[in-house]
Structure 1
């Protein structure tokens, strides 16, 4: 097993390239701010914006595959060092991966006409590279439990390809199908990762034993999410009975709420780095309940459910994880800056405004777009303000990483 604490080798690397969380957390968050600003600006008619696909396609795709997948890559390629004991991706290989991700973002900002296929190819390369890197680490130490992330990443690649197929005209329904599958697969990643880290972080900080997962409850949660993805694929050729969707979304909501209750969220109210995790994860069952409401005819569309899962579940949980992981992996005390409580609250409020509010009062939808964007910009803007230096300078304790 390789030595992962070689300080002399580490000191020769720029701090930003010492572990994958540094560039991907920093540039991914910065990109999300730019992407939200471009989207809400074009939506309100403040300027003309004609990227690859369309402004709607670009917004949907880039928040999922540009922002969220960058954070997933940074998290997994950092965590795999802890899981396997092997030296994590760093230096020139890490720089090349970051440049590949950046090339995809630049390519999709442009209207390339007959060269659209080239933009699609560049964008589609990133996730398979991350999947291969993850698989290489896991296989080398035969740690098969963590191989689960490789098929999830390849599934996201398939969803990405479906979205691109709509742009090139091969499969017009690919945008909606691909983006929805991506949302559900990322929700499954949150299910797996959240189930590991949220109860672990909570029990350590609050001084009680970590609750052991209930096998049957974990199975119900994972299988119901996978079943919804399968029904989406089946719906390409067949009409899926509404009752099946109702049962599946109800199962997801109930199982996730039961799972969360075992993590003792009530013990976290005095710790922003913890309550932000729990409240963000709560948007997974909230999204499931809104999806259930849609299939029962109570909610006007699936949009509120999708945005509960994306803005709240993904955006909120990512912000909370970045705030904690960035401190821990740079040798700093696990104490958030006081303004990060404002950041967490702004992001969670943005999620409520973009999901629950329009579900209850659809007439607020247009106002909700801008207000939700403002909450996102406040949340991730404060993160950039307080964490840019942390992510781009050496560890406070002088150790490698």
Structure 2
């Protein structure tokens, strides 16, 4: 919200080492994503291994390090402090996840991606401080691959599980080979993007788009349209498809890349929508509440969709950012999480038998 104020209204932010644009990108990618991954993985991992949940001490350590990293990004007291403190949340997450998962199959999937995310964070900070544009762009593309890969893997596992659980039947099946194929193609796309082979990059991105369309067709059932707790995850899947489509066409239609529309299709669209869907679902399930979307939850889902659509589409059709529409997109996108807090926070702090 504050970045829109910086961009449109000229609000102040310290830029001793990092620009306001990089601050925004870093916080949306690492501030937002590291919190999401910590919440999701450290809730799921103990269940995968059938061990005790993460202790309050570890939770406090993770939350404290995350808050301190946000403060450092704003205050920017020194280069060293930025590198060290901003990396801590991911470092603590990786250590705790390794202690829980050990050498299991899930560890060999999650830990390398998290390590790559940590490396991309450090590279991006270095590129931003030293104004190394090529390195910074390469780091951004590495981040996009990691986030897309995590979404492909998690959605490939979770969507079939939740759909089958809801309807008490084996309605859809996870296809691990298809999921890994999409991740492998997207990795090849990343390598060729960094090497600057644009035609091959767009071709591979379009292949990812087609493969995800096939997967969506395999997963989709009209039954899910009646269940908001399911259709929000399918909409997140559609935004993932849309990201790869935009990425494949951006070389030939330059306006598609206006104001980072492609990246925002992934972060504000796919990641944001999956996030609010999973947060709401997990919060209901782990609070002993009925797995049903109330009017407030449904409004939260609708709000983030509006925010993502306006943010991604308006620069494409208007040839750049519009201040009013940027405020509108920010308002709806953040309102989704505000509504989440309004509904769930009182339930989290209420003691129940």
TM superposition score normalised by structure 1: 0.82
* Alignment of 1:212 onto 2:173: yes
CA distance in 2 between counterparts of 1:368 and 1:286 reads 21
Q: Distance in 1 between matches of 2:25 and 2:254?
A: 25
Alpha-carbon distance between aligned partners in 2 of 1:368 and 1:308, rounded to the nearest angstrom: 16
Judged with a 3 Å threshold, the aligned counterparts in structure 2 of structure 1 residues 171 and 374 are, in CA distance, closer, same or farther, namely: same
Query: 127, 133, 139: which is aligned to 1:166?
Result: 127
Task: Report the equivalent of 1:17.
Answer: none
Deviations 1:81-130 (A, max 9, x none): 11001112212122112111111111111132xx2221221111221221
Aligned position for 1:266: 222
2:250 match: secondary structure: helix
| 1:334-359: CA deviation from partner (whole Å, max 9, x where unpaired) | 11221111111111111111223432
Question: Distance in 1 between the 2:347 and 2:124 partners?
Answer: 35
Q: Structure 2 CA distance, aligned partners of 1:359 and 1:162?
A: 29
Quote the offset at 1:227 in angstroms: 1.5
Cα deviation for residue 300 of structure 1 reads 4.2
Counting matched residue pairs gives: 351
Distance, in Å, in 1 between the alignment partners of 2:266 and 2:169 is 29
| Farther off after superposition, 42-51 or 59-68 | 42-51
Q: Give yes or no for contact 2:13–2:20 (8 Å, CA) kept in 1.
A: yes
Q: State the 1:364 CA deviation.
A: 6.1
What residue number does 1:38 align with? 2
Q: Please point out which of 145, 148, 159 is paired with 1:198.
A: 159
8 Å CA contact 2:8–2:323 kept in 1: the answer is no
Q: Using a 3 Å threshold, how does the CA distance of structure 1 residues 111 and 145 change in structure 2: closer, same or farther?
A: closer
**Separation in 2 of the partners of 1:392 and 1:185?**
34
Matched residue of 1:173: which SS?
Answer: helix
Distance 1:305 1:92 in 2: 39
**1:48 maps to what in 2?**
12
Q: How does 1:1-400 map to 2 (within 5 A)?
A: 37-51=1-15, 53-112=18-77, 115-139=78-102, 142-169=103-130, 171-233=132-194, 235=195, 239-240=196-197, 242-297=198-253, 299-301=255-257, 303-362=260-319, 365-394=322-351, 396=352, 398=353
Q: Which is bigger in relative contact order (C-alpha 8 A, separation at least 6)?
A: 1
Gap runs ≥5 in structure 2: none
Q: Is the 8 A contact 1:346 1:376 kept in 2?
A: yes
Q: Is the contact between residue 65 and residue 89 of structure 2 (CA under 8 Å) also seen in structure 1?
A: yes
* 2:156–2:176 contact (8 Å) kept in structure 1: no
Q: Distance in 1 between matches of 2:138 and 2:124?
A: 8
Do the aligned partners of residues 81 and 294 (structure 1) sit closer, same or farther apart at CA in structure 2, a change above 3 Å counting?
same
Instruction: Give the conservation status (yes or no) of the 8 Å contact 2:261–2:313.
Output: yes
Report the secondary structure of 1:47's partner residue. coil
Give the alignment's TM-score, normalised by structure 2: 0.93
Q: Secondary structure at the match of 2:140?
A: helix
- Give yes or no for contact 2:160–2:174 (8 Å, CA) kept in 1: no
Structure 1 unaligned blocks of 5 or more: 1-36
**1-structure distance, mates of 2:314, 2:242:** 12
Q: Tell me the alpha carbon deviations over residues 211-265 of structure 1, each in whole angstroms, 9 at most, x when there is no partner.
A: 22334422321111211222244x2xxx32x221121110111111111121225
RMSD of Structure 2 on Structure 1 (CA): 2.0
Distance 2:42 2:171 in 1: 25
Evaluate the alpha carbon distance shift between residue 46 and residue 393 of structure 1 in structure 2; reply closer, same or farther with a 3 A threshold.
farther
Superposed displacement of residue 177, structure 1: 2.3
